[in-house]
Amino acid sequence: MIIVIDGPAGSGKSSTAREIADRLNIQFLDSGALYRALTFLWIRNNKPDKATFFEILPETDLKTEYRNQTFFVNANGDDITSDIRSHNVANYVSKVASWPEARAFVNQYMRNLVQKNAYVADGRDLGTAVFPDANLKFYMDASIEERARRRFAEMKNSDPNVTLEEVKDNLRSRDQADQNRKADPLKKANDAIVIDTTGKTFEEQVQEIILIIKEKLKL
């Protein structure tokens, strides 16, 4: 079983999906972390051209694990969970995520991962491109101001030099890139349930989605 939550960066989908996974005792899959991992690896390899990067990518043993409300990412034995949340990675992740090769790699990784167990996953194109037959689809959104505040709070510990305005500008750029990329652009699936989290507490948005899941899927 797969439940997907799509939406723009900073809409609250990742933290919400993690909480839902814990409360319903199912697995959590963070697609954004996978794109950040690819971006980090591209930067660490000195930003090679696409062809070179995807030639060397198979040499990387990428593993993921969800525990204690954290989606851990490991590359060749190195824990890169904190590294992928840096401001530098955020500046390039939309570029890397727009590459068809990156999307094909991540999409196949996720499809392989969910062959067993029940999952809730968050992303930008899960309900339209990756899991079009998902058991249940949500689309979360919020105002740019609220999304920036949330992302700033998330990033300031790992990157203390980042400012709120930088985060807001980054989100605007990412929205533009995500909505206009040729490969699987960000958009709401026709059968997705819209959840606007502007002005809502975390508990309110979690409860709203859980009630829908229990009603629709009888969990």
> Please, what is the end-to-end C-alpha distance for the chain in angstroms?
11
pLDDT below 70 — which residues of the chain?
183, 219
Tokens of 30: 């963070």
> For residue 214, what pLDDT is reported?
94
d(CA 171, CA 157): 18
* 3-class SS string, 107-166: HHHHHHHCCCCCEEEEECCHHHHHCCCCCEEEEEECCHHHHHHHHHHHHCCCCCCCCHHH
> For residue 155, what pLDDT is reported?
80
> For residue 3, what pLDDT is reported?
97
117: phi then psi, degrees, rounded to nearest 5: 75, 170
Q: What is the pLDDT of residues 158-192, one digit of tens each?
A: 788 888 998 999 889 888 877 877 767 778 899 99
What residue type is assigned to position 217 of the chain?
L
Between helices 87-97 and 164-180, what is the axis angle to 10°? 10
How many domains is the chain built from?
A: 1
Q: Which helix (H) or strand (E) holds 170?
A: helix 164-180
pTM attached to this predicted model: 0.76
> For residue 219, what pLDDT is reported?
66
d(CA 69, CA 202): 15
Domain span at residue 71? 2-217
Q: What is the mean pLDDT of the chain?
A: 90
Q: DSSP secondary-structure letter at 29?
A: E
> For residue 150, what pLDDT is reported?
83
CATH number of the structural domain spanning residue 30: 3.40.50.300
